[in-house]
Structure 1
């Protein structure tokens, strides 16, 4: 994963991407959002060279479970 560099206050977000995790093998970046009745997630795992985009017309599902399951199927974990 590329090293994030910035000046000023320390945040775990840059250009709308949120960095998750500290372990290089399992860390990822993501951007998510939605509005009434819709939810979208884009998650990239640079070390595994994999990524997923999930778009749903419901907010009643756990996007983290769906994204994690999709990545596991892609990389064979």
Structure 2
């Protein structure tokens, strides 16, 4: 899967499932602040990633993940 496809798919489910405004989505946006995530939302995010990409994420995967770009890179690595 190409990086552009990964980004597009992530952005689509952020808009659809997490009700993030499209204009708030940018690579340097802070993941927690932009998505206004709490601990239950992280569970939903993990489920969304698994259903959209077929990869499992665990809590340790989110260490050092601050921006949406970090998150895109994480998913790209997991798919690699």
TM-score interval (norm. to shorter): 0.3 to 0.5
With the length of structure 1 as denominator, give the TM-score of the two structures: 0.33
**Larger proportion of strand:** 1
Instruction: Choose between structure 1 and 2: higher helix proportion.
Output: 2
